[in-house]
Structure 1
Amino acid sequence: MAPPRTLRVGLLICGTLGGAVGAQHGGYYEVYSHYWRATTPANANAQVVIDSYNIKQMEFPDEERISEYDLFMVTGSATNAYDDSIEWVRTLLSFLKGVIHDHPKVKVVGICFGHQIVCRALGGVCAPNGGRWEIGPTCVHLTDMGQHVFGVDHLCLQEMHRDHVMLESFERQFASGELYLLGRTCLTGNQGVVKFYTPSDPEEELEVHEKCHRDIQVLTLQGHPEFSESVVTGIVRQRPDMGTEVVGDYWDNKEGTGRRWEKTDGLDYVAKALWKMLGVMSD
């Protein structure tokens, strides 16, 4: 058997998991390392090596090292992705624009805050979503493209946000096929986008079902495929600013109606799409 293929992931850490959550689960590096290990296909002849960068401390990959990576993942954060008064937010935005434009072979995945800041790098506008929180297991209704990417008609994902990327800010990109919307929820019209590589033949127009996962350059999700019930419950306990009305249906015992106990799809359908995107699993 050939030696395992090494996949290099640059984890751009934009937040912290503190308090009891951090004590139990570690930080974002530990959570994402567990995610990749837990979802590695059984027959995959591949190993993931993760290099982490503390973006809030202005740690970024050197320009000459960017092309060494197969993928950059941008994590969540309690910071507003639209707050350009923060130096690291401005620097991250510039970095992502450079990766997408100048290093197209390096794929980019953005999660929650990462979704929002990557969308800004693609020309989108991030803003508060009317002050409304979206938390815990949430049904994401997938578009035709979302169904093609994930192989199901809806996803249940952990959510933890009250900002959003405005759909109308991508009107031109959606119309031209430069970007595709992946899904929506009752509160958030943009739950993720995907960008494919431009075909070598500009006249070639593939149907949705003909698009190949390996040709995905950028994929974003507003939800958290990497978060477990324990992580989200811990964060909710540490965030009293969410208000009792917002979290009311989240709490309840396992035999009751507490939404926190619903099964989520981050470890299966989303993970499969990521492994296909990296060429480890076939379409």
Structure 2
Amino acid sequence: MGSQGTPGPIRLAILMTDVPLPGTCARYTDYAGVFTDMFARAVAPAPLSDFLTVTKHDVVADGAGASYPRPEDVDAVLITGSRHDSFADDPWILRLVDWTRAALAAEGPSRVRVVGVCFGHQIVARALGARVDRNPGGWELAVTEVRLSAEGRKLFGLDKMRIHQMHRDAVFSYPAGAVPLADTDICPVQGMLVPGKVITVQGHPEFTEGIVREILESRHDSKIISDELYKSGIDRVANEHDGLTIARAFLKFMRE
């Protein structure tokens, strides 16, 4: 059931804000492929086509002139993670913030639900007026346990949430009207809900051990992360996590 009350699968537009590393590209093509795989595993053995039709939009490649979906043509939008800084003023980032703000302000036939993941979580917060910036607490990497609020426990059906992380930027406050979902000591704003409009998480439910291992190795080789951080991440990269449970919560949110 689409969000406008029409029968059939949800029409989801994935706004891709980065390109995966080569190993991940070889397996999934792009980040839309990573998310499509996550949702497919979340609904298996049922076919994903019963639940979603997916279109993808590269909002980086064409800069400020990138092609965005028309709100009336989709039920929901998912903004992916990215290596870029959500607080930067690159033309494509400013356009993404403006487009997200307009999408969230729309009512009636143009209303869409917005899902934000990592960079996408931060873009949504920025669009709603919250501060985003480099986190003085530093990196969160690999499978991390986050505390859930009462609303978070209800929404995800979990007492606590284990989720892959890969970020050193953060949201510093909740926008007006947003319900807190989760927190950690390093990053207090780990997710938020605006009923009927927005759901976000700072972590990466779509990430797998292989995807995160490739990122950790690349960033360690490039000296972006230290030996200590790399070892800590590698030690937890294969831990169980709740990515598919989070994916099912996203689907439920988009369908309601």
Q: 1:124-153 CA deviation, whole Å, 9 max, x = no partner?
A: 110101161111000010011111111112
C-alpha change, 1:271 and 1:239, in structure 2 (3 Å) is: same
> Which residue of 232, 236, 239 maps to 1:259?
236
SS of residue in 2 equivalent to 1:115: helix
1:115-194 alignment runs, 5 A limit:
115-130=121-136, 132-167=138-173, 170=175, 173=176, 178-194=177-193
> Which residue of 225, 234, 253 maps to 1:242?
225
Q: CA RMSD in A?
A: 2.0
Map of 1:200 onto structure 2: none
Structure 1 runs of 4+ aligned residues shifted over 3 Å read 41-45
Normalised by the length of structure 1, the TM-score is 0.80
Map of 1:6 onto structure 2: 9
1:61 aligns with 2:41: no
Q: 1:134-186 CA deviation, whole Å, 9 max, x = no partner?
A: 1100001001111111111211000000000002x64xx2xxxx111110112
Q: 1:237-263 CA deviation, whole Å, 9 max, x = no partner?
A: 111211112122223xxxxxx211210
Distance 2:155 2:102 in 1: 25
Map of 1:279 onto structure 2: 255
Q: 1:63-83 CA deviation, whole Å, 9 max, x = no partner?
A: xx2122111000011110000
> Which residue of 74, 89, 103 maps to 2:79?
74
Q: What is the number of equivalent residue pairs in this alignment?
A: 242
Query: Would the aligned equivalents of 2:165 and 2:204 in 1 still touch at CA under 8 Å?
Result: yes
Map of 2:96 onto structure 1: 92
1:30 is displaced (CA, Å) by 1.3
Report the residue type matching 2:29 in the other structure.
Answer: G
Query: Would the aligned equivalents of 1:25 and 1:231 in 2 still touch at CA under 8 Å?
Result: no
SS of residue in 1 equivalent to 2:60: helix
Map of 1:211 onto structure 2: none
SS of residue in 2 equivalent to 1:5: coil
Normalised by the length of structure 2, the TM-score is 0.88
Which has more radius of gyration? Answer: 1
SS of residue in 2 equivalent to 1:155: strand
- Identity, in percent, stands at 29
1:48 aligns with 2:19: no
Unaligned runs of 5+ in 2: 1-6
Query: Would the aligned equivalents of 1:147 and 1:153 in 2 still touch at CA under 8 Å?
Result: yes
Map of 1:39 onto structure 2: 42
Q: 1:72-101 CA deviation, whole Å, 9 max, x = no partner?
A: 0000111100001x0000000000001000
1:101 aligns with 2:105: yes
Unaligned runs of 5+ in 1: 197-215, 252-257
SS of residue in 2 equivalent to 1:158: strand
The range that moved more, 238-247 or 8-17, is: 238-247
